A = this chain, B = another copy of it.
Amino acid sequence: MATGTSTPSGPEASRPGHFLLTGEGWPYLLVPLIPVAVVLELLHAAPTWVFLASALGVIPTAALMGRATEELSARSGPGIGGFLNVTFGNAPELIIALFALGAGLHEVVKASLVGSILGNILLVLGVSMLAGGLRRDRQDFEPRAASAQALLLLLATVALIMPAIFELVQGPGLPGPRDQAVSFPADVVSLSIGVALVLLLSYAAALVFSLKTHAHLFNPAHDEGDHGGEPWTVRRSVVMLAIAGVAVGVMSEILVGSITEASEAIGLSPFFVGVIVVAIVGNAAEHWVAVYFALRNKIDLSINIAVGSAAQIALFVAPVLVLASFVVGPFPMALVFNGFEIGAIFLAVFIAQEVTQRGDSSWFEGLQLLAVYAVLALTFFFV
């Protein structure tokens, strides 16, 4: 669903000195880590340092990409704007995953997809509801919009579980969390392609729903003032998008290249790094924006960002990666997740469903989402 992520800036954005401390500005404090990561990589420094620098270096490139996408879509009307948001909204995650796919790290790809979904509906939504509800009795939102997006996640859950059931009943079983890549039989690969196409079609339908037939549900109090600052020209937006794209690509290649060795050095499994660390890094910019809106009592927008972004990962990024795996990497990637991923996704989506059903939230719902995230992260830690 098109997460109309209007980056928060407000009047402060016009005062340049403070920009780096605003909601929009803080990620750029991490810009120096981009050259640091490149230098460390070229010097063949210890993988842990390369990993850390490139992980932090991803954050400003992702933020720039988000800003450029948004400026561009603001100039191009809801239709094309929505399409741009879709294409570039989760571009950093997609680029990281494509590099991992190329390196044959199928299980890291799937772990980061799952981690991104979990991070959005548990961590981002949890912090948003917690922070936004702290000094309020309740925050209300349009349940129809939230439920429609949560329903997409349910469909995605079915799509992620059925191939696994297929493998459990008919095939050699699920991949292990310590595998690097598993080559599945042809029928599971065919099933994965079919499921990927259904997901992409549903996603297209979701765009029609949220941008056209039911757009009014998704813009309950669309406050144009939020965009703030001076708008970018189309030219500037395109240039920035290109720069951001290249930078995300470079950081992602370095990040992915260091995951295996770095996780060994730190003593964490590549699975944990993929599902928790990479996911937090890849979504850092959105995290902040969602919390920013929650604090300003626009929990509708926070939910739209968190749940919408999770849906985008599940229904757009995941199937695109399945299709891309026929061209990129050693062999096609089947949509078969491991036991931890299936359990975690199912339970998280279940909870997202309950939390978005009734149309109001409090700090307590937020805290519960975070507690669930903590339990999942703990479990992954011991893998």
How distant is the Cα of A358 from the Cα of B358 in the complex, in angstroms? 8
Beyond known contacts A144-B362, A162-B344: 20 more, CB 8 A cutoff: A137-B213, A137-B214, A143-B358, A147-B358, A148-B362, A154-B354, A155-B371, A155-B372, A155-B375, A158-B347, A162-B379, A165-B340, A169-B177, A169-B340, A191-B378, A195-B379, A198-B375, A202-B367, A209-B363, A357-B357
A163 within 8 A of B: yes
A151 within 8 A of B: yes
Residues of B within 8 A of A194 (CB): 378
Interface of A is mostly: helix
Asked if B198 and A158 sit within 8 Å, CB to CB, the answer is no
A187 within 8 A of B: yes
Binary contact track A144-165/B, C-beta < 8 Å → 1, others 0: 1001101110110111011101
Q: Known A169-B176, A382-B190; judge A376-B162 contact (CB<8 A).
A: yes
Asked if A209 and B362 sit within 8 Å, CB to CB, the answer is yes
Asked if B364 and A148 sit within 8 Å, CB to CB, the answer is yes
Q: What residues of chain A have their CB less than 8 Å away from a CB belonging to chain B?
A: 137-138, 143-144, 147-148, 150-152, 154-155, 157-159, 161-163, 165-166, 168-170, 174, 176-177, 187-188, 190-191, 194-195, 198-199, 201-202, 205-206, 209, 213-214, 338-340, 343-344, 347, 350-351, 353-355, 357-358, 360, 362-365, 367-368, 371-372, 374-376, 378-379, 382-383
How distant is the Cα of A372 from the Cα of B156 in the complex, in angstroms? 9
How distant is the Cα of A351 from the Cα of B177 in the complex, in angstroms? 29
Give chain B nearest CB distance to A359 CB in angstroms: 9
Give chain B nearest CB distance to A231 CB in angstroms: 32
Q: Which residue of B lies closest to A176 (CB)?
A: B169
Asked if A158 and B358 sit within 8 Å, CB to CB, the answer is no
A sample of 12 cross-chain residue pairs with beta-carbon separation below 8 angstroms, ordered by A number, consists of A137-B213, A154-B351, A158-B347, A162-B343, A162-B344, A162-B378, A165-B379, A168-B339, A202-B371, A205-B367, A213-B363, A214-B362
Residues of B within 8 A of A187 (CB): 382
Give chain B nearest CB distance to A352 CB in angstroms: 11
